Amino acid sequence: MPRYYSLGKIPPKRHTTFKKPSGDLYQEELFGTAGFVGMSSLLYHLNPPTVVSEIKQLKNVAPKIAIEKNMKALSFKGFSLKPEKDYLESRKTLFVNNDLHIGLAAPKEFSSSYFYKNADADEMLFIHFGSGTLKTMYGNIIFNYGDYLIIPRGTIYQIDFDTEENKLLYVESFSPIVTPKQYRNHFGQLLEHSPFCERDFRLPTNLQTHDEKGTFRVLIKKQDVLWEYMYNNHPFDVVGWDGFNYPYAFSIHDFEPITGRIHMPPPIHQTWEAAGFVVCSFVPRMYDYHPKSIPAPYHHSNIDSEEILYYVDGDFMSRNNIEKGQITLHPGGIPHGPHPGAIERSVGKKFTEELAVMIDPFKPVMITEEAMNLQVDDYYKSWITE
């Protein structure tokens, strides 16, 4: 995001003695990025966060690639993904490049038998169906339909889902996920013309300190391998923390759209950015109000990026026969645009109720075998008119 935040008990000066009521020292941990020069937080544990009794390499979880090089417009039925009981097992990666992985998940639960850490990537979870609580050593975040959850790499977490019907879009980013720089001043504060402000972000609350010893199973993903670490202390034994590096939530429903007299380009919808991609939110909004405006987007060529659209809800006016949970991929290097009839239908319309998440990778993505299980046949031919 980032902004300074503090929760729980911390000493008045960093890197100094901070004693428990017993007289023993709390254990300080710097949770930082980019060596010692990136975003960081200082956490204070009841016990050292380093006490490990056993380590096992469980399995390779690298996505299996079906199409390495693609120049075809493709579409996928995301809701065809079958629900699975466990959170990690339900995660299916669909698109891959060196900057990010994009996937879907339909978990019935997050098993209480383990904690999870992604040591490779920041995670963005978009909640399409379901609600619950994200639990971390930083505190808890309650989430609902339409929420983005941003989880910095290295964060140990669990999720308590309220029901068994959950549908998630996720991005694993190998660089930090932050708000777009064009929305921020040189102090880092969001500007007045930004489509959201600091009040819209939901930060961790209800810090729960677990003073428990035993055997705590943490599954860690690193370099496409899943490892099992057995810790002797509960991972959530933090009494307080402060800094800039922590998970938070933002609802797509709090994104305030920017509109104009004529059609505005996709950067006005930008919500997140990273080193190799951007994420945009398409939300209900007024259409363009020039008397001769064409609200439908013009044909355009993605010369420098892929365009991946995840359809959430409403009527996405530029596409025909689109369902909730459907994904379209328009590769870089070729033009694409509205489906036949969409331009004409849009003229004179005043509002749109569309809700969608767009991810634009700057480098081509490879397509996995899991994605091909959801493919819509011959989508690239859907612009043909009889």
Provide the b/e sequence for 63-77 (b: ≥16 CB within 10 Å): beeeeeebeebbbbe
Q: What is the reported pLDDT for 96?
A: 98
Q: Quick one: average pLDDT of 9-29?
A: 97
pTM summary value: 0.96
* Residue 35 confidence class, pLDDT cut points 50, 70, 90: confident
Q: Rounded CA gap, 305 and 58, in Å?
A: 35
Q: Quick one: average pLDDT of 347-369?
A: 94
For 89, phi then psi, to 5°, come to -65, -25
The contacts of residue 21 (CB under 8 Å, 6+ apart) are none
Q: What is the reported pLDDT for 1?
A: 63
Q: Quick one: average pLDDT of 98-112?
A: 97
Q: Rounded CA gap, 291 and 384, in Å?
A: 30
Q: Quick one: average pLDDT of 191-207?
A: 96
- Mean pLDDT score across all residues of the chain: 95
**Strand locations in 2-47, DSSP E?**
5-8, 27-32, 40-45
Q: Rounded CA gap, 258 and 268, in Å?
A: 6
The contacts of residue 206 (CB under 8 Å, 6+ apart) are 139, 140
Closest listed residue to residue 250, CA positions, set 195, 311, 172: 195
* Residue 190, burial from CB neighbour count under 10 angstroms (0-12, 13-18, 19+): buried
What domains can be seen in the chain, in order of their start residue? 28-66+82-252 (2.60.120.10), 257-381 (2.60.120.10)
Which one has a higher pLDDT value, 85 or 266?
Answer: 85
Q: What is the reported pLDDT for 352?
A: 87
Instruction: Encode pLDDT of 238-296 as tens digits.
Output: 999 999 999 999 999 999 999 999 988 889 999 999 999 999 999 999 888 899 999 88
The contacts of residue 228 (CB under 8 Å, 6+ apart) are 54, 55, 56, 57, 58, 217, 218, 219, 220
Q: Rounded CA gap, 280 and 359, in Å?
A: 6
**Cβ(135)–Cβ(100) under 8 Å?**
no
Q: Quick one: average pLDDT of 122-151?
A: 98
The contacts of residue 116 (CB under 8 Å, 6+ apart) are 87, 88, 110, 156, 157, 158, 218, 219, 220, 221
* Residue 362 confidence class, pLDDT cut points 50, 70, 90: very high
Does the pLDDT at position 318 exceed 80? no
In the numeric block, which tokens belong to residue 4? 């300074």
Would you give the DSSP letter of residue 275? T
For 90, phi then psi, to 5°, come to -80, -15
Q: Rounded CA gap, 286 and 290, in Å?
A: 12
* Residue 121 confidence class, pLDDT cut points 50, 70, 90: very high
Q: Rounded CA gap, 247 and 265, in Å?
A: 30
20 CB-side CA count, 13 A: 14
Does the pLDDT at position 302 exceed 90? no
Q: What is the reported pLDDT for 346?
A: 86
The H-assigned helical ranges of the chain are 87-90, 342-346, 369-372
Q: Quick one: average pLDDT of 143-150?
A: 98
Give the pairing type, strands 201-202 and 147-151: unpaired
Q: Quick one: average pLDDT of 57-67?
A: 97
Instruction: Encode pLDDT of 205-239 as tens digits.
Output: 999 999 999 999 999 999 999 999 999 999 999 99
The H-assigned helical ranges of 18-163 are 87-90
Does the pLDDT at position 175 exceed 70? yes
Closest listed residue to residue 46, CA positions, set 263, 300, 240: 240
